[in-house]
Amino acid sequence: MTTDSANEMPVVSVLEWPDFSLDQYDEVIAALGYRDDESEPGGIYHTVASGDGVYIVDVWKSPDVLAEFAETRLGPVLASLQIPPPARQNVYPVHNLIIPPGALDAAPAGALRALFFIPDATAEQYEQIIRDLDAAGLTHPAGRILHVAAPSGDGWFVMDLWESQEAFESFGQTLMPLIAKSGMRIDVPPVVTPLHNTLHQPADERSKDIAAGRYTGSRAGNPAGTNEKAMTHAAFAAPVLPGKEAQADSFFAELQGSRNADFNASRRRLGIREISYRQVTPQGMIVIVTIEGDDPAEALSRLARENDDFTSWFVQQVKEIHGLDLTEPLPSTPTVIVDSGSEQERNKHVVQRFFDEVINRHDVSALTSLAGPGYLNYIAVRPEPFTLDEVYAPLQMFFDAFPDMHHHLEETVAENDLVTTKWTITATHTGAFQGIPPTGRAVSLKGISLYRLADGKIIEDYPGFSPLDILAQIGVIPLPEAQEQPV
């Protein structure tokens, strides 16, 4: 999210109205006089669904706009209709808001709302899930209308709006492994309800937000799967001025603690990942800053133009501690001296991670961060390849059937965008495999796999063995007889 002023920090409002009916709600909406399904000026999205009474969740551009609406518009209408105010209202500062690029319309018939109230969840866990989804090309999953997330005091609040039950369930197959990977609780199901009504942001305000690149996720202006840019890196060193060491340590502590959520939200708005290191040298303390993103230089330029409370504080601290004015171009930019890995070496490293983190740890969710847009797996269990969303199930089937399965890489060769591996698999059949009960038989296979990579991500996977090889070794089908060689 990008803001124009310190006061324009979006909030999400959750209204619980146990003794309020949908008929009364419709009366209120009629009295407010909305037209063309557009919300109040300053309102981004309004949703209502029934449950224990009526449950309204709204996203507003700022708490001031919300307060003005409640005082000057909603309050008088409720009084005129003799309707008591809602029993409970919670207002949370928005940590992340993602809306697909383009016009924002009212939800279609059959749309639903999924509300997640996740106890003990942290910003770090949420950010890990978002990074994995971005890496998988799912910044804007098909069928999702809007995503908003906020810290709720005792955990994390998330609202997703979906065009259909099918779209929600399809995305859930990818999301659940990522939630588990992050360490966030998966035993708290979302509250999923059909939407009774929605109101969307006024068209003129939406047009301005699109032009400013607001609320489109970490790939602002670049819908997932189209014209993807390779992530690039930048780094620079910032010495700490003499006598500013204590202030620097206090600054670092705040970034790690009370201001960590604000820091993460700021970098997401800029579309970058920043990692900074504190280093003490004989010449004094320095900070080494590394930035990864589509365009780190442009992101730093955008940082200079932001004027929310956190950014203003951050820029002032950097100026006092390092003598650097982030509102001005850096005095110099570093140049590369050496690069220890060619593209081929980096691709080999990615494939090695695939074997280490996915295959040998039996962690299907780890594939999400290693696979690129349009990923296809040609495992020979059906004629057509598997997409990323589809491949989790067959991989997990192998892991469940052979819990001790291990791939030993014997050789890895890279050429252009291809990586070839020669390997040996050892495993024991102690779980059901394609409906076949455990046999306890040992399996040993040798083979060669081929991988195609783009921008450091696997986009094609040719595993190099057939399930028929396994079926033969566990005794389900006969092994081919060795042919006698002529003398």
Task: Tell me what pLDDT residue 336 has.
Answer: 67
Fold for the domain defined by 343-473: Nuclear Transport Factor 2; Chain: A, (3.10.450)
Task: Tell me what pLDDT residue 321 has.
Answer: 96
Task: Tell me what pLDDT residue 1 has.
Answer: 35
Task: Tell me what pLDDT residue 341 has.
Answer: 59
Fold for the domain defined by 11-212: Alpha-Beta Plaits (3.30.70)
Task: Tell me what pLDDT residue 305 has.
Answer: 77
Beta-ladder partners of 5: none
Fold for the domain defined by 232-322: Alpha-Beta Plaits (3.30.70)
Task: Tell me what pLDDT residue 480 has.
Answer: 55
Please check whether residue 474 is in contact with residue 443, taking contact to mean a CB–CB distance below 8 angstroms: yes
Task: Tell me what pLDDT residue 294 has.
Answer: 63
* First vs last C-alpha separation in the chain: 75
- Identical fold for domains 11-212 and 343-473, yes or no, is no
List the chain pLDDT tens, one digit each, 487 residues. Answer: 333 333 467 889 999 888 889 999 999 999 999 877 899 899 999 999 987 789 999 999 988 899 899 999 999 999 999 998 887 888 988 888 988 766 678 888 899 999 999 998 888 888 889 888 877 778 888 889 999 999 887 889 999 999 999 999 999 988 989 998 888 988 888 999 999 999 998 888 877 776 565 665 543 333 222 233 444 677 889 999 999 999 999 999 999 999 988 888 788 777 777 889 999 999 899 999 988 776 677 777 778 777 788 999 999 999 999 999 988 877 666 776 766 656 888 889 899 999 988 998 888 888 988 999 999 999 877 889 999 989 988 888 888 999 999 998 888 998 889 999 999 999 999 998 878 899 999 999 888 999 999 988 999 999 987 777 788 888 877 655 544 444 4
Separation CA 228–CA 266 (nearest Å) = 22
Domain residues of the chain, as ranges? 11-212, 232-322, 343-473
